[in-house]
Structure 1
């Protein structure tokens, strides 16, 4: 049966964004039915790798990162290496980490202001669509606003691939949610860690750092 096993491909955010830029520039509405459009995307997306990396840098400068919504095994392991050797055991520790992380992520997705993220993507699409826009360093050009819908499509596309745009450090609301989840569930983790805010913040920080580990 080994030959039938499917290897799950890791989501490549740089390639994904580059293809999104190629799709918008070539005005491809649906690559699944537009064969010419699909060909243009596949043949030109590498030209937009630079744009893709630039928008990721812009997100990072603004305090955002892109990571899996469901934590990878490496992320869970990095959260707290000592937790699995305590009262909870490995399985209990993993369940606790996933539960708290999920609650924090849901808190973020349900409450954060998307305007800054959409502005960053709108400006990136504007630059990719008009190379002359790269020369505009005044910051006064607001024409990028017309790409708002496309920016929303990019964010939706990222989420459809199982990833999210999240803060590089847990917000106060996210930390509070993680603490409350620990207290409400009254797991052995609350006895082992105390479920305090510093500990919850460190869990998130460690998982963010491990998001790209294979």
Structure 2
């Protein structure tokens, strides 16, 4: 768990996205071997912080959040503060919450439509590449679609850094998966929670709310 905490603390999504914008605007293919490209990214990424914040806001308005793929200690603690004092104990509560959370996330990632997320990133890259596009309020400009591949790369980069794009509230399918996982695992956890749908939803929603909290250790 300690490694997960360190990863979540060091990954700054705002900075990461700003550097991605700088990469695409400067047409840097591989900053590991392109010394000039690497310099441009490091020297210009702060110019794209506003673009980064805008795309994060767009994701939130669409009902998405970016959070760690593996739950942090703070997320687990926030899921249900009283669960560890019940029948299963602290370790049992952590294992149960982690298992249910991962099952719900796997259910979502296995079947969600990526088009809206990719559209949001494509439009953000288009705006960063052409500031004049910000003034286009016609709603008819579809030129952003040419940035689809770059948008896919951005999403892949987020996942590579141990994070995911997920709904800000548990979907019905995710809740059903969490309930079924609780029912299938005959432990003190299922006896204590009863596999209640509202309770399962609250576990996920509480963990999402705590996604950016840092460990005090």
Give the TM bin, normalised by the shorter chain: over 0.9
1:65 alignment partner, SS class: strand
Give the secondary structure class of the aligned counterpart of 1:141.
coil
Where structure 2 has 5 or more consecutive residues not aligned to the other structure, the ranges are 1-5
Aligned-residue CA RMSD in angstroms? 0.8
Counterpart for residue 38 of structure 1: 38
Residue 81 of structure 2 aligns to a residue whose secondary structure is coil
Give unmatched runs, 5+ long, in structure 1: 1-6
Question: Secondary structure of the equivalent of 2:33?
Answer: coil
SS at match of 2:10: coil
Q: Output aligned runs, 1:2-41, within 5 Å.
A: 9-41=9-41
Instruction: Please give the per-residue CA displacement for 1:173-200, whole angstroms capped at 9, x wherever unaligned.
Output: 0000000011111121111111111000
Structure 2 equivalent of residue 192 of structure 1: 192
- Provide, for residues 66-90 of structure 1, a one-character-per-residue CA deviation record: whole Å limited to 9, x for no partner: 0000000000000000000000000
Cα deviation, 1:28-59, whole Å, max 9, x if unaligned, reads 00000000000000000000000000000000
Count of residues in Structure 1 that have an aligned counterpart in Structure 2? 208
Q: Secondary structure at the match of 2:70?
A: coil
State the partner residue of 1:4.
none
Instruction: Give the aligned partner of residue 133 of structure 1.
Output: 133
Once the two structures are superposed, what CA deviation does each residue of 1:92-124 show, in whole Å capped at 9, x if it has no partner? 000000000000000111110000000000000
Name the counterpart of 1:172. 172
Q: TM-score, normalised by structure 1?
A: 0.96
Distance 2:180 2:197 in 1: 10
Query: Aligned-pair distance for 1:167?
Result: 0.2
**TM-score normalised by structure 2 residue count:** 0.95
Aligned to 1:166, the other structure's residue is in SS state: strand
- C-alpha distance in structure 2 between counterparts of 1:79 and 1:105, whole Å: 15
Measured after TM superposition, the shift of residue 138 of structure 1 is: 1.3
Deviation at 1:10, TM superposition (A): 2.0
